[in-house]
A and B are shown apart, each in its own frame.
Chain A
């Protein structure tokens, strides 16, 4: 009997084991739900905290006072006696601090006041011994031979002044950056060229040429002059006169920062590392790099301090000790960064924001939120970062996996994501009550804020938006109400004989479809979620009519020239910036003035675009021509293009913190800044947003010439009160957010292009688009 029992023990044991695994496995799968009541499992706050509490050591940021009236027009210099100095070349004042930047004494440089008050285009530098070099131009002394001649002044610390001219490239260029080395050499850059200037002999020597010209920055390291031209870093040994081999790691880093739109300040290391290492400050943080070394060592994370703020650009970085840095920002703010070995590496509480693409407004909000809540570390995860080579679908699938596992972010930047599906599946929290509460303290553009209101709640909020605009003379704009009337108007204008090249400035079918897609996409889906064939057919017919009219007056040569121009644009700018050149109003209105296009139809991204638009209108009016602009309607009316749609995850680890961050995003402090990514949603912030900035955006005159050599002038002036009010009314009239569906857009761009160019008939293209859209809608 014993034997008999034993025979059945193993199979029974096996069955029991499998059953145990099955039951525990299934229970395990269901546990998360019981705890959270909704999506997936939660990592507890304690667990989260413990992970980060173990790592210690962080650079702590402190804002230092800067002299009153100083607005960032000068560099931070460590003087020979160890004190800190700034020479404000705009006001001719020398500031000195003997206590590490806490208090500043000011001294007006009277020897230069006369020049500073009467000249144009100033730039200057101060040497560690207190001597000053100043470059300036006197526009009124401009002659045909010496066009805007640049002059220089060198003022020694004991007051000896030398005035001189160098005649760089026959007065056709001017200095953009100057620095003194600790041993008194003066180096300067123009666009593409680096010089050493001998102030005593009043001569210059060309050291080398750079490949690029944007974001030039310099420092000296030992006997090496280090020049950053925005893309490459050059090491020039000014004693041997040798241009050293390139530092690949540093070049890669600089290129990445450039793509991220970050400015870089660099300086020589101090102590034992002096001459062999560099420190760099950029949006990513403070970095240490051994020259020709293989790594960029991040000392301070930009996400934890002001460096991550897109509205701040570092212009001077100065190490005071191994673990202490000072950074002067372009807006004149000065911060110290001191390493605290006892502080946790990151603040213990964390808030995670996930978006497919970077967003300047979110970055700005992170900076503001961090100042208000220093105990919270805001992590902004970008799904489509350049280095990971993912597609949007891949990134969304990764996100979905995290959401299913209960490890999703706290906030979602929903641009490019399936918003409806996330709402339907309960991923997003209803923000109705929070928005009602925020409205008691803020005045919003309700038409924009509530645009995503659904019957069962408000799950997504736009934080910025672009405005579709069409502008032209009264006669040309007459009767344009929708896509159909636009097609007729474009054809009429193209046949009128007044068109030099194009009516709308669209040279390719792809550009035209890109322009029209947001204005019409909503019309292609019926209320019962089916493709509207009639609307699609009408769209393609109208688009083809416009395209044919656009091509009527275009020569092959002109098309090729435009293609070459766009290649250059794409080479020089990022893809997003290049698209803005094509679709934005800034370029189009200028082309309109040059008579290269008749109507300007595109999108307003910022006050810069609006400033050009109203300036062009004023120019037309000055020439007794009636010019106006209106919201551009396609197959749908009163649309706006959201450039940041945010939702809070229903399963957020820290829902209160997530809501607090969202409130910060919508508040005046964040919304008032024009980051070239759309207009504010906060009505109170609108005033500050539209106010004329004090630095770099002053009114100016623009001289342009077209291909025929015809000169056109434009007085670019900041919009006045009435014009700002006009913009406000324009915003008030917007009601419907453009719902971008990447699959539908791709289908339209691919099949629509064939229809426009005649490669396929309208019917064939409609069938192809309907087939693809149907598939998606029927899923």
Chain B
């Protein structure tokens, strides 16, 4: 795409009509490019088509059918889910989790990456922050219970300081627990990603900025941050995908019906599948995929524009 655009750009910037042999050469070039693109894309595209696109096509079809008898029912399933209180609650909670969790993760991990980047013990710090990723889910669940149960460590600490204990998993505080565990588990990985970006920032440009009298903040805001912009898209998408994994811990600790603030879309889908509500799952799946695609395209467009 990039080279094609460059070519188009050159053609436009030139201002002169192209010569016929030049046009011909460019078409040959484009044709070869298409061939090689097609060949390179074919294996992975086939895999994606067979395992993702076609099944999704079936899901989209099922979203207009009844659950098991598969009779066409129009948009009834969509109407049903948008009147379903559990779906609305799960969407709200998931959206809130994404809106709160991902920016927090991005900002905190960037700050930590900046701090670690200048530290003499970079590898040590990285290992410390990556450690939660190595902890198996079953152990995480035990840690959750140790920390957040009624007589857990956290409440013990609170009691010592004279603060009344909180029902971390049975009250609205469960949302804080959810966000905290997401941050804790994914911080290390995100820090590593940010550090990769930081290392790619041109040292000469930073030096030049300093020579021109830029402060550390200015240097970060006007030199480092713009260079990190391509990383934002990747990290955001990865963080979004990782955010779905927090369901495992939530499910194992609090079961299929946790405190309302912890009730995510995955809980709902899990429970719907247990009750064989395939019609609702299909309709909700299509809606969520649409929102996800819109989000990804919006991010990509934003990125392209900034580029």
Contacts and interface: CB of A to CB of B under 8 A. Distances in A.
Given A21-B50, A26-B58, A10 B34 contact: yes
B260 A771 contact: yes
A214 interface: no
B39 to A, nearest CB: 7
Contacts of A6: 31
B296 interface: no
A426 interface: yes
A75 to B, nearest CB: 50
Interface stretch (B61-69, B198-206, B287-295): B61-69
Interface in B27-68: 27-28, 30-31, 34-35, 38-39, 41-42, 45-46, 49-50, 53-55, 57-58, 61, 67-68
A778 B86 contact: yes
Interface in A24-40: 25-26, 29-30, 33, 38-40
A426 B68 contact: yes
B290 to A, nearest CB: 18
B274 A425 contact: no
B57 A38 contact: no
Contact of B42 (A14, A38, A771): A14
Contacts of B27: 4, 7
Nearest to A746: B255
In this complex, which of B50, B54, B273 has the most chain A Cβ atoms within 10 angstroms of its Cβ? B54
B144 interface: no
A13 B38 CA distance: 9
Contacts of A30: 61, 70
Interface in B260-305: 260, 263, 268, 270-278
B242 interface: no
In this complex, which of A7, A426, A776 has the most chain B Cβ atoms within 10 angstroms of its Cβ? A7
A427 interface: yes
Interface in B206-234: none
Nearest to A6: B31
A25 B270 CA distance: 25
**Interface size range of chain B in the complex:** 35 or more
B38 A11 contact: yes
Interface stretch (A161-169, A349-357, A393-401, A491-499): A393-401
A422 interface: yes
Contacts of A560: none
Given A771-B260, A779-B272, A427 B68 contact: yes
Contact of A7 (B34, B67, B272): B34
Contacts of A772: 257
Contacts of B278: 404
Interface string A1-17: 00110111011011001
B92 to A, nearest CB: 13
Nearest to A768: B170
B272 A427 contact: no
A779 B54 contact: no
A531 to B, nearest CB: 12
Contacts of A153: none
B216 to A, nearest CB: 49
Contact of B41 (A14, A25, A33, A404): A14
A3 B54 CA distance: 34
B84 interface: yes
In this complex, which of B42, B53, B70, B89 has the most chain A Cβ atoms within 10 angstroms of its Cβ? B70
Given A11-B38, A14-B42, A22 B86 contact: no
A interface majority secondary structure: helix
Contact of A743 (B31, B38, B257, B272): B257
B274 A396 contact: yes
A10 B68 contact: no
B149 interface: no
A772 B271 CA distance: 13
Contact of B49 (A22, A418, A759): A22
A403 B276 contact: yes
B301 to A, nearest CB: 24
Contacts of B271: 776, 779
A30 B57 CA distance: 12
B181 interface: no
A743 B49 contact: no
Given A3-B28, A771-B259, A22 B277 contact: no
Nearest to B85: A778
A779 B89 CA distance: 10
A18 interface: yes
Contact of A18 (B35, B49, B85): B49
Nearest to A4: B27
A183 B61 CA distance: 76
A237 to B, nearest CB: 45
A48 B86 CA distance: 42
Interface string B5-34: 000000000000000000000011011001
Given A25-B58, A30-B61, A7 B273 contact: no
A354 to B, nearest CB: 14
Contacts of B35: 7, 10
B99 interface: no
Interface in B71-105: 84-86, 89
B135 to A, nearest CB: 22
Nearest to A743: B257
A4 B32 CA distance: 11
B86 A775 contact: yes
B256 interface: yes
Given A743-B256, A775-B257, A400 B276 contact: yes
Contact of B54 (A21, A40, A404, A743): A21
A11 B53 CA distance: 18
A18 B50 CA distance: 9
Given A18-B45, A400-B273, A778 B257 contact: no
Given A10-B34, A11-B38, A771-B259, 7 more contacts: A7-B30, A7-B35, A26-B61, A425-B67, A772-B257, A775-B263, A776-B271
The 3 A-B residue pairs with the shortest CB-CB distance in the complex, in nearest-first order: A7-B31, A25-B54, A778-B85
23 contacts: A7-B34, A8-B31, A10-B34, A10-B35, A10-B38, A13-B38, A14-B42, A17-B46, A22-B53, A25-B50, A25-B58, A26-B57, A393-B274, A397-B273, A397-B274, A404-B68, A418-B275, A422-B276, A425-B276, A427-B68, A759-B150, A779-B275, A779-B277
